[in-house]
Structure 1
Amino acid sequence: MFLKSIHLRQFRNYQDQKVEFTAAKTILVGNNAQGKSNLLEAVELLATLRSHRMARDRDLVQEGEAIAQINASLERKSSISDLTLTLRRNGRRTVALNSEIVRRQMDFLGVLNAVEFSSLDLDLVRGGPEGRRSWLDTLLIQLEPVYAHILQQYNQVLRQRNAFLKQTQDSALSSQQSEQLAVWDAQLATNGTRVIRRRERALQRLAPIATNWHASISGSTEELQIKYAPNVPLGENYPQEVQQAFLEKIQQRAIAELRQGTTLVGPHRDEVELIINQTPARQYGSQGQQRTLVLALKLAELQLIEEVVGEPPLLLLDDVLAELDLYRQNQLLDTIQDRFQTIITTTHLGSFDSQWLNSSQILLVKAGEISLPNPLD
């Protein structure tokens, strides 16, 4: 797939900016805080309807404006698609495909596929489980767009159940309240089981690919294992068994939940364990080794999405080359070649050899405006 153009209106620090992509590799050059990452964020939003930076829609709309819009033209093997995402400061976002409003988000997802790799991703290893869950969920949305709807349903039930537990915190439940809680329990178990089983299935496919990449980058000196550690026991992973285990665990934690006023059971408490040479990666080795792991995960994402959707996804590299040593930079750049359309942000061009620069489109980014470099510079 090839992103032909993107048009940003009142998005972040862009007032009205259109970019035409003319090469397989585009390098966005500029100082920090000029808008390079904002452009990548816009592409990511079209792919996943999620922001890597966990931003709320109101933060994406330019100050003093009511709406922001991202429009893009995408060429795939069989078609050209026009994608539009409209964000509102005080209201619901809307999406359109070929100028037709799309009512269900999952019908918009999966048209554009992209993998973002930014310096923030280094927290995948060092940070808490929430970041790893979010990373896995974002991948799953691209592999299986219906997952966005499943996750939304689960989170909605979770919010409602939490509100109920908060309301009844530290008090004895009436029979009516007990019946109401049982309804939330059943819905949480049903929706949570769908989330758990899909996460397990995705990691089973991703783990061997990531392990192979990790062995390649580390020269087979380290062995990577990725393990799914669900909050609810999987058993044989049949839906009925997972659901039953879910309900049993809710019963076990019932008193603690009522005392704390929050849900203690479910996939919102899952962990993805990253293990190098039998040791948890967050406790293991140097920053360089942790960066090798994250690079292996990102290359595995690219490969898995390509296998599932049948076309290579876009690769968005946000100021990440500066975080990698020369060896890992070369591993990444050699893998990319012209196989994936790649958009790279950087503050200077020193990381790239002349062959890369000659085959790339180079754009300057300054204060929310994108221009071609002056040939005399």
Structure 2
Amino acid sequence: MYLNRLHLRHFRNYREQEIIFSAPKTILLGDNAQGKSNLLEAVELLSTLKSHRVSCDRDLVLAGESESKITAQLTRKHGSIDLALLLRDKGRRTATVNRENLKRQLDFLGVLNAVEFSALDLDLVRGNPETRRHWIDSLLFQIEPVYAHILHEYQRILKQRNSLLKQAEHRSLDPAELESWNHQLIITGTKVIRRRMRIIDRLAPIARTWHTKISKNTEILTITYAPNVAAIENTPEAIYQGFLDRLALRSIAEQSLGNTLVGPHRDEIELTINDTPAKAYGSQGQQRTLVLALKLAELELIEQIVGEPPLLLLDDVLAELDLTRQNQLLSVIEDRFQTLITTTHLGAFDAKWLDSSQILQVRSGEIFQA
């Protein structure tokens, strides 16, 4: 797939800007806080409907304006696609594909596939389990868009069940009502668990191969899905029973705390290097190798499943990598993946890379040909 054109109106610090992408690699050059990352964020929103930087749409709208719009023209192997996303400081978004407003935003997912790699991704190793759950969920949104609906439904049920548990402080729970919510939580939670299991089973060996290559056969990466619910096997029946047993075990604690303690919202994705937890393992360099391997594995897995290479968004990551890892990353990209890369200087790129790249200068929310 290839992103031909991107137009931003009142998005972040961009008032009105159109970018025509004329090469497989586009380098966005400029000082910090000029709008380079904002442009990548716009592409990320078109891909996943989410920003990894903010959670409220009003933060994406230019100050003083009530709405912003991102439009794009994309070429895939089956033809050309027009995308548009209208963001409002108050109210619901409008998502459009080929000039048709979508009733379900779920239908927007999976049209533009992209993998973003930024300095914030080091939190995949150092951060809390929620960070790793969000990472694998975002990957699933692109590969299996219906998963977004499943996860949203699970979160809705979880919220309702928590509300019921909180009422236990003031009155006795209705056993039949709690049983009903338990059933819904288990049914939907099982769908979340099984999809996470499947995607990690496919991603883990690819990431392991990349990690072995980057570390020059000195380290072995293992990715393990550790669900909060134990099951003897990966079948809906086994997971349902394990879920039910654990809910019974934690029932008193849940009612005491007024909170659901069982389910995929408490899952962990364990990352180990040579059988040692990566979070506690070695240097930042080793942690960066791990994250680089994860991102390269994402690229490869999406390409395998959707049949086309996704876009690669690199947000100032070369500064985070040593020369060896920079070369590994740049050599993998070549012209295989359309790449948008932000940087404050061009020193990390060799002449061949620069000659085959489109270089755009970014200053104060405006883009110029360098």
Range into which the TM-score falls when normalised by the shorter chain = over 0.9
Q: Aligned AA for 2:98?
A: N
- Structure 1 residue 55: deviation in Å? 2.7
Q: What is residue 3 of structure 2 aligned with on the other side? A: 3
1:296 equivalent among 256, 275, 293: 293
- Structure 1 residue 163: deviation in Å? 2.0
- Distance in 2, matches of 1:315 and 1:269, equals 30
- Structure 1 residue 171: deviation in Å? 4.2
- Distance in 1, matches of 2:234 and 2:279, equals 28
Q: What is residue 257 of structure 1 aligned with on the other side? A: 254
SS of corresponding position for 2:65: coil
- Distance in 2, matches of 1:145 and 1:53, equals 21
1:270 equivalent among 267, 272, 276: 267
- Distance in 2, matches of 1:22 and 1:81, equals 17
Q: What is residue 78 of structure 1 aligned with on the other side? A: 78
Deviations 1:43-97 (A, max 9, x none): 0111111112243111111222211111000001111000011111111111110
SS of corresponding position for 1:181: helix
1:179 aligns with 2:172: no
SS of corresponding position for 2:70: strand
2:237 equivalent among 233, 236, 240: 240
Gapped regions of structure 1 (runs ≥ 5): none
Deviations 1:145-182 (A, max 9, x none): 111111111111111212222233x34524xx322222
Q: Aligned AA for 2:330?
A: L
Q: What is residue 115 of structure 2 aligned with on the other side? A: 115
- Distance in 1, matches of 2:298 and 2:216, equals 20
Q: TM-score, normalised by structure 2?
A: 0.98
Over 3 Å counting, the alpha-carbon distance change for 1:167 and 1:65 in structure 2 is farther
Q: What is residue 217 of structure 1 aligned with on the other side? A: 214
- Distance in 1, matches of 2:231 and 2:105, equals 29
- Distance in 2, matches of 1:272 and 1:358, equals 41
SS of corresponding position for 1:222: coil
Deviations 1:228-249 (A, max 9, x none): 0000113211112211211221
- Distance in 1, matches of 2:165 and 2:72, equals 44
Q: Aligned AA for 1:85?
A: L
**2:311 and 2:339 in contact (8 A); partners too:** yes
Q: TM-score, normalised by structure 1?
A: 0.96
**2:58 and 2:89 in contact (8 A); partners too:** yes
2:276 equivalent among 260, 275, 279: 279
- Distance in 1, matches of 2:38 and 2:55, equals 11
Q: Aligned AA for 1:87?
A: L
Alignment of 1:353-368 (within 5 A): 353-368=350-365
SS of corresponding position for 1:52: coil
**2:231 and 2:241 in contact (8 A); partners too:** no
Q: What is residue 334 of structure 2 aligned with on the other side? A: 337
- Distance in 2, matches of 1:310 and 1:86, equals 29
1:18 aligns with 2:18: yes
**Sequence identity, in percent?**
64
Q: What is residue 154 of structure 1 aligned with on the other side? A: 154
- Aligned length, in residue pairs: 370
SS of corresponding position for 1:312: coil
- Distance in 2, matches of 1:93 and 1:167, equals 34
2:197 equivalent among 174, 195, 200: 200
CA RMSD of aligned residues (A): 1.0
Displacement over 3 Å in runs of 4+ = none
SS of corresponding position for 2:74: strand
SS of corresponding position for 1:231: coil
- Distance in 2, matches of 1:222 and 1:78, equals 41
Deviations 1:9-46 (A, max 9, x none): 11111111111000000000111111111110110111
SS of corresponding position for 2:91: coil
- Distance in 2, matches of 1:111 and 1:56, equals 23
- Distance in 2, matches of 1:333 and 1:25, equals 11
- Structure 1 residue 303: deviation in Å? 0.2
Over 3 Å counting, the alpha-carbon distance change for 1:283 and 1:231 in structure 2 is same
1:60 aligns with 2:57: no
